[in-house]
Chains A and B, each alone.
Chain A
Amino acid sequence: MKKSIVILALVAISAVAMQSAYGQSDVATQSLNLAVNAVYKIATSGNPSALTITTGTAGTDALTSVSDATSTYSITQNYGNTVKITANLDAALSSGYTLQIGLASSKGTSAGAVDISNATSGSAVDVVTSIAQGADANKAITYTFSALASAGMLSSTTKTVTLTLTN
């Protein structure tokens, strides 16, 4: 009789325990704030070699121009598809000297060889336009330096070119 009571009591406890396991549920939630800010990144591989004009053609005022295509640029931007790169010098070149820059692009439209001789910070010129979101790595930068003989010689001079990735 006692054994029967104990067994019945154990069965009852098990039933309660099982009901408790099946009858309970719980959830937890979290609110997350996600954001990706506008990212504009541009970098160059380094400086180009010295651009030195050394020769010309007899009877022609335009001396033989020189080019450099040894440096590259890389960009990353997530702003939109209307981003562009502008270029400018720290100071304009003297009359008779011309510096052109050409940036290759696979994410935008290159403007080709653009004269930046007179482009300063207040008058930067577009060199690549309509850049799509994403990254574009190791694209060629080509500089072409030309001069007129009538402008005379030019002592070695340093110029800073600023490439700006902007919307």
Chain B
Amino acid sequence: MKLNDETQGDTKMKKTTMILLMSAVSVMFVESVRAQATATQTLTLAVNAVFKIATSGNPSPLTITTGTAGSDNLTAVTDNSTTYSITQNYGNTVKITANLNSTLPAGYTLKLALASSKGTSAGSVDISNATSGSAVNVVTGIQKGADAGQSISYTFSALASAGTLSSSSKTVTLTLTN
């Protein structure tokens, strides 16, 4: 009887030891699973205002060579061989203005039209008298983003009464601005 009691006591002791061991293993396992280390860095990010505009090149010479008998308006010539591209992230009220480096003499007219898929084209705009201080809008309400390969159309016209015009170079400035 006493021997049996001792055996039962031993069994209880073994069970307790086993439970304690299992608990210890569990704790170790949880600790092991959760083990990790961290490091942090602080980054400062910013995107400044970006305004970019470029053209594909220069248009062909615009040379008026003919007219209609009885009409002072000679036959205008047009060039659609060039394009422009823009990228801007400033806002949705950006525009493109155009101006010449110097005005044309009276009787000569140069018009410019810029196509646009991100803004509103003003259509064919007379820039004959637009200089740096009086640039005219050619595209308005341009949305943020990029607009690539949009056509530029020049139309040059003249009155016969204005006389001939020797080959003359003019610089057209397109400005992407807010």
Q: Within the complex, what minimum Cβ distance (angstroms) separates B34 from chain A?
A: 9
Residue pair B42, A164 in contact (C-beta under 8 Å): no
Residues of A within 8 A of B52 (CB): 55-59
Q: Which of B1-49 contact A (CB under 8 A)?
A: 31-33, 35-49
Q: Describe A's contact surface by its main secondary structure.
A: strand
Q: Within the complex, what minimum Cβ distance (angstroms) separates B138 from chain A?
A: 16
Q: Describe B's contact surface by its main secondary structure.
A: strand
A153-B38 contact, Cβ under 8 Å, with A57-B87, A58-B54, A63-B87: no
- Indicate whether A149 reaches chain B with its CB closer than 8 angstroms: yes
Partner among A73, A150, A154 whose Cβ is within 8 Å of the Cβ of B45: A154
Residue pair B43, A51 in contact (C-beta under 8 Å): yes
A155-B46 contact, Cβ under 8 Å, with A59-B87, A149-B88, A163-B38: yes
Within the assembled complex, what's the spacing in Å between the Cα atoms of A157 and B47?
10
Residues of B within 8 A of A151 (CB): 47, 89, 144
Chain A interface extent, by class: 35 or more
Interface 9-residue window, one of A8-16, A17-25, A39-47: A39-47
- Indicate whether B147 reaches chain A with its CB closer than 8 angstroms: yes
Residue pair A52, B87 in contact (C-beta under 8 Å): no
User: Which interface residue of B39, B54, B84, B86 has the most chain A CB atoms within 10 A?
Assistant: B39
Q: Report the tally of A-B residue pairs with Cβ distances under 8 A.
A: 166
Within the assembled complex, what's the spacing in Å between the Cα atoms of A24 and B32?
49
Residues of A within 8 A of B33 (CB): 167
Residue pair B91, A152 in contact (C-beta under 8 Å): yes
Residue pair B37, A40 in contact (C-beta under 8 Å): yes
Q: Which of B123-156 contact A (CB under 8 A)?
A: 143-149
- Chain B, Cβ-Cβ closest to A151: B89
A63-B41 contact, Cβ under 8 Å, with A52-B47, A97-B47, A165-B36: no
- Indicate whether A135 reaches chain B with its CB closer than 8 angstroms: no
Residue pair A150, B145 in contact (C-beta under 8 Å): yes
Residues of A within 8 A of B88 (CB): 149
Query: What residues make up the interface of B, taking CB atoms closer than 8 Å to A?
Result: 31-33, 35-50, 52-54, 84-91, 143-149
In the complex, 20 of the A-B residue pairs with CB atoms within 8 angstroms, ordered by the A residue number, are A50-B45, A58-B52, A58-B86, A59-B148, A59-B149, A60-B85, A77-B37, A79-B35, A93-B45, A147-B89, A149-B145, A150-B146, A151-B47, A151-B89, A152-B144, A153-B47, A153-B90, A160-B40, A161-B40, A166-B35
